[in-house]
């Protein structure tokens, strides 16, 4: 599994631009273990759509070994949408793997979706763009330094909603960790992975 590690240059979780330039207000660094392609993509599809739940922790451990954020005191996975039919949250498994390496808690009870209008999987990038900024809420995170964990970075829309929710709950997102980043030309894949 280690062969998939090919970290991308840090980019902004909110807008996708290279991190460190003046890209957008309140830029947040995002670290991706690899591009969403090859074995890395296969692993994620197996974890997400082919019920290979046992992959989640080792994949998360690999993320935790590759990246470190010393400011973090809690890992929060992006929640599954309630209208989805998935049995487990792959991002929670990744967060639990990172948690084992970093020795800070992973908590999936903080962030939640506020409504049922947008299932997470199988949406095209154009419909994801319609997600309102306040689509997610969070329980109090007063003074917490949060690392958000997600599976694949695509448009950044979900993460923007998550970052906004954390900030409204008085927390601070110090960084975002994702397994991989999908480039726009890969978007049509959503049509065949839906099973
Ligand atoms: Zn930005």
- What spacing in Å lies between the alpha carbon of 109 and ligand 1's midpoint? 27
Closest CA to 186 of 31, 27, 40: 40
- What spacing in Å lies between the alpha carbon of 132 and ligand 1's midpoint? 18
Give residue-wise pLDDT tens across range 12-67. Answer: 999 999 999 989 999 999 999 999 999 999 999 999 999 899 999 999 999 999 99
| Domain edges within the chain | 2-193
- What spacing in Å lies between the alpha carbon of 156 and ligand 1's midpoint? 10
- What spacing in Å lies between the alpha carbon of 52 and ligand 1's midpoint? 33
CA dihedral in degrees (110, 42, 160, 191; nearest 10)?
-110
For residue 122, CA distances in Å to 7, 108, 188 come to 26, 22, 10
- What spacing in Å lies between the alpha carbon of 11 and ligand 1's midpoint? 8
Q: Which residues pair with 136 in a beta bridge?
A: 113
Put simply, whether the predicted model's pTM sits higher than 0.85 gets the answer yes
Structural fold of domain 2-193: Rossmann fold (3.40.50)
**Choice between 33 and 1, residue whose per-residue pLDDT is larger:** 33
Listed in sequence order, the residues at least 6 apart from 15 whose beta carbon sits closer than 8 Å to its beta carbon are: 23, 24, 27, 156
Give residue-wise pLDDT tens across range 126-152. Answer: 555 567 778 999 999 999 999 999 999
């Amino acid at each position: 599994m280690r062969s998939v590690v090919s970290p991308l240059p840090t980019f902004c979780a909110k807008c996708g631009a290279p991190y460190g330039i003046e890209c957008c207000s309140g830029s947040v660094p995002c670290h991706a273990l690899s591009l969403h392609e090859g074995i890395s993509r296969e692993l994620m599809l197996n974890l997400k759509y082919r019920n290979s739940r046992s992959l989640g922790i080792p994949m998360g451990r690999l993320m935790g070994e590759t990246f470190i954020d010393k400011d973090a005191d809690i890992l929060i996975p992006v929640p599954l949408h309630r209208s989805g039919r998935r049995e487990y949250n792959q991002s929670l498994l990744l967060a639990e793997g990172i948690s084992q390496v970093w020795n800070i808690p992973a908590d999936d009870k903080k962030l939640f979706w506020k409504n049922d209008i947008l299932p997470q999987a199988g949406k095209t990038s154009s419909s994801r763009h319609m997600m309102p900024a306040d689509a997610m809420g969070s329980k109090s995170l007063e003074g917490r330094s949060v690392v958000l964990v997600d599976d694949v970075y695509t448009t950044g829309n979900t993460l923007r909603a998550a970052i906004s929710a954390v900030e409204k709950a008085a927390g601070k997102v110090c960084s975002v960790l994702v397994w991989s980043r999908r480039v726009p030309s890969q978007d049509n894949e959503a049509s065949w992975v839906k099973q």
